[in-house]
A = this chain, B = another copy of it.
């Protein structure tokens, strides 16, 4: 199991219904996320280290490519993580190496 710590942000509503890099349509109401390089389909446990809340998401998009960001989650995931009002949160992500394609 691999652990990474970094900053999470969440998708703007304007991206709802648009095509992700995996070809899937993005839905704010699904538990998905964008990561710069994890294989599509990887299941990732995201923990908001400021409040202890966590959620499991599936990687189906590429990004964020912004300096200092590690993962972008859907709004549904952001709600579960309690980070909708803050916008950005320091999180720890965990995933299994064997999921890699």
Could you list which residues of chain A lie within 8 angstroms of chain B, going by C-beta atoms?
9-15, 18, 34, 36-37, 63-69, 72, 87
Are the CB atoms of A87 and B68 closer together than 8 Å?
Answer: yes
Bound together, the chains give a CA A7 to CA B67 distance in angstroms of: 14
Q: Is the CB of A9 within 8 A of B63?
A: no
Q: List 6 A-B contacts (CB under 8 A).
A: A9-B68, A10-B67, A15-B36, A18-B65, A63-B64, A68-B87
Query: How distant is the Cα of A72 from the Cα of B12 in the complex, in angstroms?
Result: 14
A63 CA to B64 CA in the complex, in Å? 9
Known: A12-B36, A36-B12, A36-B14. A64 touches B64 (CB 8 A): yes
B66 lies within 8 A of A10 (CB): yes
